[in-house]
Amino acid sequence: MRGLSLIALTLSSTLLGGCLVKAAADVVTAPVRVASKGVDLATTSQSEADEKRGRELRKAEEELGKLNRRYEDRLEDCSDGNERACDEARDIYSEIQMLLESNPALGEAAATLEGN
């Protein structure tokens, strides 16, 4: 009976020791895991940055297309003698230039389209 108690005591202390070591390891590594998760959430991967830039560029291209259509429309009215349309065409042209300056990639695309 005493031998059985000794075996049970040895076995339970070994198992509990393993649990304590595991708990201690979890406590020690928890700050590192939390910090690395925070860094992951705070940083943007290159592919995420590329996707965001692509969305911004497509939105700017869409805006440029709308402005260009309005500009062409007002320019046509201006050539028919409508002074107000001439003023509007100048304003729209300024908007187009500002959009191209704020998005250099759009300027390159526009220059390529004009060259064709």
* Residue 55 shares a structural domain with residue 37: no
- Structural domain range at position 78: 51-115
* Residue 63 shares a structural domain with residue 104: yes
* Residue 10 shares a structural domain with residue 38: yes
Contacts of 103 (CB under 8 A, 6+ apart): 56, 57, 60
* Residue 13 shares a structural domain with residue 55: no
What tens digit of pLDDT does each residue of 7-23 get? Answer: 655 656 565 555 655 66
| Cα–Cα dist 116/113, whole Å | 5
What tens digit of pLDDT does each residue of 53-98 get? Answer: 889 899 999 999 999 999 999 999 999 999 999 999 999 999 999 9
Q: How many domains does the chain have?
A: 2
* Residue 15 shares a structural domain with residue 39: yes
End-to-end, the C-alpha distance of the chain in Å comes to 98
* Residue 36 shares a structural domain with residue 57: no
Q: Is the whole model's pTM more than 0.75, yes or no?
A: no
